[in-house]
C-alpha cells in the first residue's frame, strides 16, 4: 500500500490517464493542425506525462479534496514541475522538443509557461470531481481474475514500446550525425560537383567513425 492505495490501483490509474491524455492531446493537435497527429514520443496510444501527473496529484492531494484553492495551486505546481522534468529529459535523450512555449507569456526556457500551468490547475480540480470517479468505475469493471493479467500486459507492452522508441531514436541520431559529418567535409572541401563525388563512391567509404 502507498498512501493507502494499492500498487495495482496506482499502476492502472497511471495507464488509464496516460491513454486518456493521449486521446485528448492527439485530438486537440490533429484538429489544430488539420491532419492526424500521434501525439507523444511512444508508438502506442499513451502519454506518460498525463499518467504521471494525474497519479501524483491524486496521491499527494487526496487529503485536501475539500480545499479547492489548495487543489488548484498545488496541482498546477506539481504538474508544472513534472512537465519541466519531462521536457528536459526528452530533449536530452531524444534531441527533440515535443512542445515549445517560447512564444507564450511568462515561459521558462520554453518548457513551461503560465497559461499551461493554469490549465493544469483546472485539470487538477476536474480530476477529483469528474475524472477520478470515471476511472474508478473503469478499474472496478475489470474482472478480479483478469486484473493482474491486464496490468502486467500493459507494463510489458509499454516497456517494449519504450525500448523500440529508444533503439529507433539512437539509430536515427547516428544517421543524423553521419549526415552532419558529410556536410562538414563537403563544406570544408567545397567540391565543384556533388555528382562527381558520388562517381567515386565505394561501399567501404560509406561508414565513418563519429567521435
- Asked whether 47 and 18 are in contact (CB, 8 A), the reply is yes
* Segments of the chain scoring below 50 in pLDDT: none
CB-count burial class (<10 Å; 0-12, 13-18, 19+) for 111: buried
Buried b (16+ CB within 10 A) or exposed e, 125-137: bebbeebbeebee
CA distance 101 to 106: 9
- Asked whether 50 and 18 are in contact (CB, 8 A), the reply is yes
pLDDT of amino acid 138: 92
pLDDT of amino acid 180: 61
pLDDT of amino acid 84: 94
pLDDT of amino acid 168: 78
Amino acid at each position: 500500500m502507498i498512501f493507502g492505495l494499492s500498487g495495482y490501483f496506482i499502476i492502472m490509474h497511471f495507464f488509464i490517464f496516460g491513454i486518456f491524455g493521449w486521446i485528448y492531446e492527439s485530438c486537440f493537435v490533429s484538429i489544430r493542425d488539420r491532419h492526424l497527429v500521434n501525439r507523444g514520443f511512444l508508438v502506442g496510444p499513451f502519454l506518460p506525462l498525463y499518467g504521471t501527473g494525474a497519479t501524483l496529484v491524486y496521491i499527494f492531494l487526496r487529503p485536501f479534496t475539500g480545499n479547492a484553492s489548495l487543489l488548484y495551486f498545488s496541482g498546477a505546481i506539481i504538474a508544472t514541475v513534472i512537465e519541466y522534468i519531462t521536457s528536459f529529459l526528452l530533449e536530452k535523450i531524444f534531441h527533440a522538443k515535443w512542445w515549445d512555449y517560447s512564444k507564450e507569456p511568462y515561459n521558462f526556457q520554453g518548457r513551461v509557461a503560465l497559461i499551461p500551468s493554469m490549465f493544469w490547475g483546472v485539470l487538477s480540480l476536474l480530476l477529483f470531481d469528474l475524472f477520478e470517479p470515471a476511472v474508478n468505475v473503469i478499474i472496478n469493471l475489470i474482472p478480479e481474475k483478469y486484473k493482474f493479467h491486464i496490468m502486467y500486459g500493459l507494463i510489458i507492452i509499454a516497456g517494449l514500446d519504450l525500448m523500440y522508441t529508444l533503439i529507433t531514436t539512437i539509430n536515427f541520431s547516428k544517421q543524423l550525425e553521419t549526415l552532419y559529418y558529410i556536410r562538414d567535409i563537403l563544406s570544408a572541401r567545397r567540391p565543384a560537383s556533388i555528382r562527381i563525388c558520388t562517381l567515386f563512391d565505394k561501399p567501404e567509404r560509406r561508414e565513418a567513425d563519429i567521435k
